[in-house]
């Protein structure tokens, strides 16, 4: 595989279950309120109890399928709007069936609305989306996942946090490979203060395998970008290094460090349906803390970038509608190839029950112009 200069690989839009996904920004779910969310084609109702703790249930009543999001919520129990069954918000356990008479002893505590593990991290509500249950299996209480939801790395006690979200009309695969693609920068993200097509030059970056992913090893960022120079000036640091990690199913983590200052971000590409995904960027930093408009400025710059990507992918979706033949080339598209190989390896390990065989066996240096 390594030697083929040109390789055709069509994204299969397969969505990976059994991972944590960002469901909604925290601020969209108020206390004692319900909100809808769609993740991996799974409709969810997300809410926040009277104490402020978030929860997630499948948005279908186990009785006759009415969306629970149509019902009401008192801060503890979710009541279905169709026949008034009530469910514990966190466990999904049935607490009341109004139609039952005194003599009818249905064991209602054995009835569950499907619940999903839920954690709040960095201003987002994360939900663990498990492998779909076999057809016909009823819902039970959600099992607590072995690992907790990811969070954006931070390196000091005090820092600022901001987030950004954008819907993309393409599959999660196109969303992810678009995110890790180094060659579109000069064409899509042109700006006088960033770079232009004339600043294209040859680059060489070292990569290494990490669990379920790969890392662009700590390096000094591209010399042709003004913001990095600014950071360096501001931080008055000898060197500035950046590390970029990609990990299955959809995580891109970037850390920039310059002396005592740091900036980090955790970007996720979440499958909503087979043909739609959502990009969420959460950034944390201790730079520019004294600037009142720091977060706004940063958000503005980030929003510009994401909007350029969104606009591009919207156009790309038009082209993809007719299933064109696609190709990935070396070395610029190698990260994209790795992504597909990682996904394959993961699915293979699920299928066989065997160990995850990492497709990248050691450090690799990639070259491209951008």
Given the complex with ligand FES, which of 82 and 356 has the nearer CB atom?
82
For Fe ion, the binding residues in 298-317 under the rule CB under 5 A are 309
83 binds ligand FES (CB under 6 A): yes
331 binds, among Fe ion, ligand FES, none (CB under 5 to 8 A by kind): none
Strand partners, 37: 44
CA distance 310 to 188: 10
245 binds Fe ion (CB under 5 A): no
Strand partners, 58: 44
309 binds, among ligand FES, Fe ion, none (CB under 5 to 8 A by kind): Fe ion
64 binds ligand FES (CB under 6 A): yes
Q: Which H/E stretch holds residue 337?
A: helix 334-352
Region of 13 on the Ramachandran plot (φ > 0 left; ψ -120 to 50 alpha; else beta): left
269 binds ligand FES (CB under 6 A): no
231 binds, among Fe ion, ligand FES, none (CB under 5 to 8 A by kind): none
* Three-state secondary structure readout of 142-159: CCCCCCCCCCCCCCCCCC
Tell me, by CB under 6 A, how many residues bind ligand FES. Answer: 8
CA distance 61 to 82: 9
The correct pick among 19, 20, 21, 85 for binding ligand FES (CB under 6 A) is 85
CA distance 356 to 344: 10
43 binds ligand FES (CB under 6 A): no
122 binds Fe ion (CB under 5 A): no
CA distance 217 to 242: 8
61 binds ligand FES (CB under 6 A): yes
For Fe ion, the binding residues in 215-234 under the rule CB under 5 A are none
For 61, other C-beta atoms within 10 Å of its C-beta total 23
3-state secondary structure of 63: coil
Given the complex with ligand FES, which of 56 and 94 has the nearer CB atom?
94
Contacts of residue 365, defined as CB under 8 A and 6 or more positions apart, other chains included, come to 204, 205, 206, 207
User: In the complex, which residue's CB is closest to Fe ion?
Assistant: 309
Given the complex with ligand FES, which of 66 and 200 has the nearer CB atom?
66
CB of 236 to Fe ion, least distance (A): 30
The interface region with ligand FES, picked from 57-65, 213-221, 295-303, 334-342 by CB under 6 A, is: 57-65
- Binding residues (CB under 6 A) for ligand FES: these are 61, 63-64, 66, 80, 82-83, 85
């Amino acid at each position: 595989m390594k030697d083929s200069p040109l390789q055709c690989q069509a994204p299969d839009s397969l969505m990976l279950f059994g991972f944590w996904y960002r469901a909604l920004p925290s601020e969209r779910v108020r206390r004692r309120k319900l909100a809808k969310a769609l993740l991996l084609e799974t409709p969810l109702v997300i809410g926040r109890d009277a104490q402020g703790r978030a929860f997630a249930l499948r948005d279908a009543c186990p009785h006759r399928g009415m969306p629970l999001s149509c019902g009401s919520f008192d801060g503890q129990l979710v009541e279905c709007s169709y026949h008034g069954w009530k469910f514990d918000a966190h466990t999904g356990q049935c607490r009341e069936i109004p139609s039952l008479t005194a003599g009818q002893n249905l064991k209602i505590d054995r009835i569950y609305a499907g619940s999903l593990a839920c954690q709040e991290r960095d201003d987002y509500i994360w939900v663990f989306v498990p492998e779909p249950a076999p057809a016909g299996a009823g819902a039970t209480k959600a099992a607590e996942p072995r690992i907790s939801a990811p969070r954006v790395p931070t390196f000091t006690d005090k820092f600022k946090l901001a987030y950004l979200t954008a819907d993309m009309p393409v599959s999660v695969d196109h969303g992810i490979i678009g995110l890790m693609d180094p060659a579109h920068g000069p064409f899509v993200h042109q700006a006088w203060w960033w770079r232009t097509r004339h600043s294209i030059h040859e680059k060489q970056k070292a990569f290494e395998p990490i669990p379920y992913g790969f890392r662009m090893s700590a390096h000094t960022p591209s010399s042709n970008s003004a913001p990095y120079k600014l950071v360096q000036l501001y931080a008055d640091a000898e060197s500035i290094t950046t590390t970029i990690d990609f990990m299955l199913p959809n995580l891109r983590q970037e850390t920039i460090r310059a002396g005592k200052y740091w900036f980090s971000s955790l970007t996720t590409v979440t499958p909503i349906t087979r043909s739609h995904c959502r990009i969420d960027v959460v950034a944390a930093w201790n730079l520019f803390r004294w600037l009142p408009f720091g977060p706004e400025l940063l958000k503005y710059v980030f929003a510009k970038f994401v909007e350029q990507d969104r606009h591009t992918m919207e156009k790309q979706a038009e082209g993809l509608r007719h299933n064109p033949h696609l190709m990935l080339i070396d070395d610029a598209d190698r990260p994209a190839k790795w992504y597909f190989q990682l996904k394959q390896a993961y699915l293979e390990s699920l299928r066989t029950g065997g160990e995850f065989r990492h497709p990248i066996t050691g450090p690799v240096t990639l070259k491209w112009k951008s």
